[in-house]
Structure 1
Amino acid sequence: MKSASQILQTVFGYESFRPPQDAIIDTVIAGRDALVLMPTGGGKSLCYQIPALARPGCGVVISPLIALMQDQVNALRQLGVRASFLNSTLGPAEAAAVETALQSGELDLLYIAPERLTQERTLALLARSQVALFAIDEAHCVSQWGHDFRADYLQLDLLHQRFADVPRIALTATADERTREEIALRLDLAAAERFIAGFDRPNIRYRITLKHNARQQLLRFLKEEHPHDAGIVYCLSRRKTEDVAFWLQEQGFNALPYHAGLDSDIRADYQARFLREEGIIMVATIAFGMGIDKPDVRFVAHLDMPKTVEAYYQETGRAGRDGAPANAWMLYGLQDVIKLRQMVDGSDGSEAHKRAEQHRLNAMLGLCEITACRRQSLLAYFGDQLPQPCGNCDNCLEPVTTWDGTEAARKALSAVYRTGQRFGVNHLIDVLRGSEAERIYQYDHHQLPTYGVGKDLDANQWRSVFRQLVARGYLRVDMDRFGALCLEEKCRDLLRGDETIDLRRDVARKTARQQTRTALPEDIDVGLWEALREKRRLLAEDQGVPPYVIFHDRTLQEMCAAMPRNAVQFGRLTGVGERKLNKYGDAFIEVIENHLAATG
């Protein structure tokens, strides 16, 4: 039997192991179980491939990703390793040939999906064969608290029951302490030796910024930093992946959409193109990426905030697997938090599960809002410590300025309390800024002590205050009340004056908004036009819809020409029905009135 170091050199072409690879491999070769946490690109696959080649028999690798098995097998065959797979893509004759090769000792590694492994027929086949080890890849899929849960993984404890003498190695790149314990419990690996490698990926630059105009921000990022590079753009919804991919195509990029709703053949084709072609951008939901071995992914961009730090870390880890510099770039906003909390609240999970998900979402939002080194915070989440700031994240490279937000925070919290904890951010800002919109008088909110006390900050500054109060746990979003903000117990000391708070100062966009392509009549006031477009954008962003769903450009042009000052006048505009009049009239009339007041 060849030694592990000989196999490493002769088969894989590496001179030496990266700790703790050697210790893990020695453990499994000796016939003991192992639970391995190692970052993406850290060399996890060698930890089971080499023992499979060193031990008698065939190593069986359980993987949740049928689409990637072929590529993994092909890569091993290029190295002279006798590898194959068993999954639903094989016909009866092909599957029979693989089974025969397994029983006759002609395979070194066999990849198999968990749902096939747990079939009695497959278990009987393995019992008749010599199995070197079981490798459970992407082991976090066993966690019902996690973002990639696979129900079939819950049955994998049968491996210990049915094959007690065969060593097992479970591997994952992302698992906090709770998930690690769940993996050990559900896979019956309580006695396994645990190996936790450092989580740091120093070549990845982490950057997180506020969402203003997501498409234009993405376009600027791609054109300035990655005009010809391969990368992944993650979106929260299936529709958005398609819209963004086709829009990027129009901008001259080689972009493809990917989500679970696409035909399986199309998904397989797009995935294969991404893996094999250069310069392709995959615009995807989280359905894409697990197990991706493409080394030269130069960036991972998030147009929506992930639900958990685990998801964020795993997804960003798909960049720069080759060790060369790569970017993890993300946009986020309060609307992302509202959407994600709505998804958590609407899930079928137990109350305990929902509470855990809310905790994880809060941790993710905290990472977004932090003013210190992002890498230190990210690693600390997984129990890994970085003694000094990394120098390779946005907060290190461009330190965030803060301001004493104590008074503003108290005003914001007071507005939430005095309006009955029944209203969303836009209404609360109107109260604080002393808006004369009809809805303010409808609820008598013009008589509140907090009415008009916040005129020193503009609407975007107040949005920043509310977002940070939600992020830090002083406020929560109540989805049962359509996104109303409610006070949390934590806010008491701040309201009573026993606590102060520093808030991050959101930096204004350095690049001017792209000029409109709409041909405007010569007599239209461009300042008012842009103000109306900004209001439309903010409303659309709040609701997660395209701006034209609020009003078409033609309606905005009519607003500029007619300058309606009341509901009757506004209702005469093209494209303004009763619902839109009631829903948006006050907001746009206020923009017009403010513009007229400012211009005299």
Structure 2
Amino acid sequence: MSETYRILQSVFGHHTFRSYQEEAVNAILARKDIMMILPTGAGKSLCYQLPSLVMDGMSVVISPLLALMHDQITALSAFGIKAAMIFSMQSTQEIQETMQACRKGELKLLYVAPERLKGESFLNFLQTLPINFFVIDEAHCVSEWGHEFREDYRQLFRLKQYFPKTPIAAFTATATKIVEQDILHQLGLSAPLIIRAKVERDNLTIKAEYRNANGREQLLSFLSAFKNESGIIYTLTRKETESLALFLGTHKILARAYHAGLSTEEKNETYHAFLNDEIQVVVATVAFGMGIDKSNIRFVAHMSLPKTIENYYQEIGRAGRDGLPSSTLLLFSTSDIVEHRRRISEQPASEYQKVAYEKLGAISKFASSQVCRHQQIATYFDDAIATCKTRCDNCVDGEKQSVDISHEALKLLSSVYRTGQRFGLHYVVDVLMGSHNEKIEQNGHESLSVFGIGKDKTKAQWHSIGDRLMELEALKVGEYRVVSLSEYGAQIIKERLHVSIHAARLEVRAKASKKAAKVVTGAFELSIFEQLRALRLEIAKENSIPPYVVFSDKTLKEMAERLPQNKEAMLEVSGVGEVKFERYGEAFLELCAKLS
């Protein structure tokens, strides 16, 4: 057995590599620069952690977030791998102690934030160490065309200036071809091996639907399939994170809010409670979760439309990192698009503003389309895959029945025109419905030919039709959400053009979605899995580490199926290596013996 495979099995507890991992490991061992684009949860970390153990010297990992670095080091410690981090909130003594450990050769991996590499003194310090290679994690932060550009990442070109002979391994889960080329150019990689995996998470189910009112009943329906499971819910505002967390609490779901307005102490408390399975759900703004290493997140829900497909793909990627089936839900409305457009319009006119509008258009079309959602994401990232068939709502529902709303579209567009194109959609719908209110009377719109011609539909249905006309860009939304006709809208009126809508969209505001299907998780007795999970929690508390660091849900479920009775059988379970067996194996063997 080669040293690479020996370490893969004895340290990480795996008998084989996942797709693309071995190619990356071999390239790093051959001292080549590499650029790896691999979906979240596909095992990027092992691609650099394993070769670091094989090679002499120490690896330096550049990572954007403190929480991400901390999670990685905690997980490495459970494998018996010595790693440390240097960050700005440490005392001078703590930093000096870590630097001394580096000089003595006591560490295999050193994690640092990108801003640390701006200082000449720190770069000079690194030059005194036997560094085998550099790792740049979340490499999309290098590119101005990416969705999380960071100025400090832009300075990483200096690595090649100070360490011209030291290989660089850059990793990201999201990069279009434009972003990929920008990363390669900015980092100055030398004849790099580019590994681009398929942009597909085959364990994720993706669903998107129009938000009904505030979407809370739809959310509860979705959450009913995930009793006692971990998940993240993203909202647009800080206020909403707090109100939604309280709402979930009234339904006996342990949830906490997380946003940038909270104190560091409050955020850390929520973060660690989530890692340690003390709470079920974190309700957060996008300030939470980038790079979180918690493997047993079973669901991610969005209560409004994300800014870009890159953001969305990164955020849903936090579910199912252990490879087990997980689900996602996106609730959205046209008001989300309007709000994003408003924010973009406040930016200075530039190429970046233009790109921001294009990215918003892409996520808007993704949310409301009928095409396979996995296929749409892949296409966005310049990849080509077959339809998923069973892992998104569009494929499961098949060809959704469309209904002709040409006549209704004509009514609504005519009402916008007749009322002077200076009111919002709510007012126009009130005119269509023949509502008698003071504002309509003051404007004299009761006398219009369109007044009351829409009584055959509910207000909710008219708003869905209005949303559809905005998607088709037949209606434009201006300041204060005033709607007006576009050229295409005028053309629909003049030429009586055909307009259709998915039948479900005329019902979505009137009733919540059907109860979510229970996620199928494997052939094992749930009661056995729960007892194994209880033991894991007990061991985690004793060792002051997150439960998933002991063993992942995937490992526990395989253990529940096999119920190993000796060390050899336990080591055959994926995720159980020599180090973890020595630390935790006997306790699990004892429980398996009782359960068999």
> 1:26, CA displacement in angstroms?
2.0
| Whole-angstrom CA distance in 2 between matches of 1:512 and 1:181 | 42
User: Are 2:480 and 1:482 aligned?
Assistant: yes
> 1:220, CA displacement in angstroms?
3.2
| Whole-angstrom CA distance in 2 between matches of 1:185 and 1:498 | 52
Q: Write the letter of the residue equivalent to 2:335.
A: Q
Find the counterpart in structure 2 of residue 381 from structure 1. 380
Find the counterpart in structure 1 of residue 84 from structure 2. 84
> 1:29, CA displacement in angstroms?
2.2
| Whole-angstrom CA distance in 1 between matches of 2:484 and 2:155 | 42
| Whole-angstrom CA distance in 2 between matches of 1:97 and 1:512 | 56
Encode CA deviations 1:451-482: one digit per residue, 9 max, x unaligned. 5554443321121122122234443432xx11
| Whole-angstrom CA distance in 2 between matches of 1:134 and 1:416 | 60
Structure 1 length as normaliser, TM-score? 0.79
> 1:3, CA displacement in angstroms?
4.3
Runs of 4+ in 1 over 6 A off after TM superposition: none
Change (3 A) 1:417 1:165: farther
Secondary structure at the counterpart of residue 320 of structure 1 = coil
Find the counterpart in structure 1 of residue 368 from structure 2. 369
Q: How does 1:194-593 map to 2 (within 5 A)?
A: 194-212=194-212, 213-222=214-223, 224-277=224-277, 280-346=280-346, 348-399=347-398, 400-443=400-443, 445=445, 450-478=450-478, 481-488=479-486, 491=489, 494-497=492-495, 500-505=498-503, 506=505, 507-508=507-508, 509-510=510-511
| Whole-angstrom CA distance in 1 between matches of 2:185 and 2:453 | 55
> 1:61, CA displacement in angstroms?
0.7
Change (3 A) 1:272 1:466: same
Secondary structure at the counterpart of residue 44 of structure 2 = coil
> 1:442, CA displacement in angstroms?
4.2
Q: Does the 8 Å CA contact 1:375/1:390 hold for their aligned counterparts?
A: no
| Whole-angstrom CA distance in 1 between matches of 2:98 and 2:481 | 55
> 1:171, CA displacement in angstroms?
1.2
Q: Does the 8 Å CA contact 2:40/2:317 hold for their aligned counterparts?
A: yes
Q: Does the 8 Å CA contact 2:406/2:496 hold for their aligned counterparts?
A: no
| Whole-angstrom CA distance in 2 between matches of 1:440 and 1:384 | 52
Q: Does the 8 Å CA contact 1:300/1:316 hold for their aligned counterparts?
A: yes
| Whole-angstrom CA distance in 2 between matches of 1:492 and 1:195 | 49
Change (3 A) 1:497 1:289: same
Encode CA deviations 1:213-272: one digit per residue, 9 max, x unaligned. 4223323332x2122111111111112111211222232221111111211122122111
> 1:448, CA displacement in angstroms?
5.7
Q: Which has the higher contact order (CA 8 A, sep 6+)?
A: 2
> 1:25, CA displacement in angstroms?
2.0
Q: Does the 8 Å CA contact 1:145/1:357 hold for their aligned counterparts?
A: no
Change (3 A) 1:320 1:2: same
Secondary structure at the counterpart of residue 293 of structure 2 = coil
Encode CA deviations 1:30-81: one digit per residue, 9 max, x unaligned. 2222221111100011122223233332111111111232221121122122
| Whole-angstrom CA distance in 1 between matches of 2:488 and 2:167 | 48
Q: Write the letter of the residue equivalent to 1:331.
A: L
Q: Write the letter of the residue equivalent to 2:128.
A: R
> 1:95, CA displacement in angstroms?
1.1
Change (3 A) 1:504 1:512: closer
> 1:355, CA displacement in angstroms?
2.1
| Whole-angstrom CA distance in 1 between matches of 2:309 and 2:26 | 32
> 1:187, CA displacement in angstroms?
2.8
Q: Does the 8 Å CA contact 1:118/1:155 hold for their aligned counterparts?
A: yes
Change (3 A) 1:190 1:309: farther
Q: Does the 8 Å CA contact 1:366/1:472 hold for their aligned counterparts?
A: no
Q: Does the 8 Å CA contact 1:231/1:299 hold for their aligned counterparts?
A: yes
| Whole-angstrom CA distance in 2 between matches of 1:408 and 1:465 | 8
> 1:403, CA displacement in angstroms?
0.9
Which ranges in structure 1 are unaligned for 5 or more consecutive residues? 514-600
Change (3 A) 1:498 1:321: same
Change (3 A) 1:407 1:159: farther
| Whole-angstrom CA distance in 2 between matches of 1:255 and 1:380 | 35
Find the counterpart in structure 2 of residue 574 from structure 1. none
Secondary structure at the counterpart of residue 31 of structure 1 = coil
Q: Does the 8 Å CA contact 2:410/2:496 hold for their aligned counterparts?
A: no
> 1:492, CA displacement in angstroms?
6.3
Secondary structure at the counterpart of residue 297 of structure 2 = coil
Which ranges in structure 2 are unaligned for 5 or more consecutive residues? 515-596
Q: Does the 8 Å CA contact 1:362/1:471 hold for their aligned counterparts?
A: no
| Whole-angstrom CA distance in 1 between matches of 2:51 and 2:496 | 60
Change (3 A) 1:427 1:143: farther
| Whole-angstrom CA distance in 2 between matches of 1:229 and 1:192 | 41
| Whole-angstrom CA distance in 1 between matches of 2:104 and 2:420 | 74
Change (3 A) 1:449 1:351: farther
Change (3 A) 1:210 1:58: same
| Whole-angstrom CA distance in 1 between matches of 2:421 and 2:90 | 58
Encode CA deviations 1:539-588: one digit per residue, 9 max, x unaligned. xxxxxxxxxxxxxxxxxxxxxxxxxxxxxxxxxxxxxxxxxxxxxxxxxx
Secondary structure at the counterpart of residue 233 of structure 2 = strand
Q: Write the letter of the residue equivalent to 1:397.
A: V
| Whole-angstrom CA distance in 2 between matches of 1:279 and 1:460 | 36
| Whole-angstrom CA distance in 1 between matches of 2:301 and 2:308 | 16
Secondary structure at the counterpart of residue 135 of structure 2 = strand
Change (3 A) 1:485 1:217: same
Q: Does the 8 Å CA contact 1:231/1:279 hold for their aligned counterparts?
A: no
Secondary structure at the counterpart of residue 11 of structure 2 = helix
Change (3 A) 1:193 1:494: farther
| Whole-angstrom CA distance in 1 between matches of 2:417 and 2:351 | 28
| Whole-angstrom CA distance in 2 between matches of 1:292 and 1:238 | 20
Change (3 A) 1:192 1:471: farther
Secondary structure at the counterpart of residue 36 of structure 1 = strand
| Whole-angstrom CA distance in 1 between matches of 2:490 and 2:32 | 53
Q: Does the 8 Å CA contact 1:237/1:285 hold for their aligned counterparts?
A: yes
Q: Write the letter of the residue equivalent to 2:483.
A: L
Secondary structure at the counterpart of residue 242 of structure 2 = helix
| Whole-angstrom CA distance in 1 between matches of 2:240 and 2:88 | 30
11-20 or 121-130, which deviates more: 11-20
| Whole-angstrom CA distance in 1 between matches of 2:202 and 2:307 | 23
> 1:299, CA displacement in angstroms?
1.0
Encode CA deviations 1:468-518: one digit per residue, 9 max, x unaligned. 22234443432xx112234445556545538533211213455699xxxxx
| Whole-angstrom CA distance in 2 between matches of 1:65 and 1:53 | 24
| Whole-angstrom CA distance in 1 between matches of 2:25 and 2:473 | 44
Encode CA deviations 1:354-380: one digit per residue, 9 max, x unaligned. 221122112112122112322222222
Q: Does the 8 Å CA contact 1:376/1:390 hold for their aligned counterparts?
A: no
Find the counterpart in structure 1 of residue 44 from structure 2. 44
Secondary structure at the counterpart of residue 157 of structure 1 = helix
Q: Write the letter of the residue equivalent to 2:195.
A: F
| Whole-angstrom CA distance in 2 between matches of 1:44 and 1:512 | 36
Q: Does the 8 Å CA contact 1:157/1:186 hold for their aligned counterparts?
A: yes
Secondary structure at the counterpart of residue 482 of structure 1 = helix
| Whole-angstrom CA distance in 1 between matches of 2:388 and 2:140 | 29
| Whole-angstrom CA distance in 2 between matches of 1:504 and 1:189 | 48
| Whole-angstrom CA distance in 2 between matches of 1:47 and 1:488 | 52
User: Are 2:59 and 1:59 aligned?
Assistant: yes
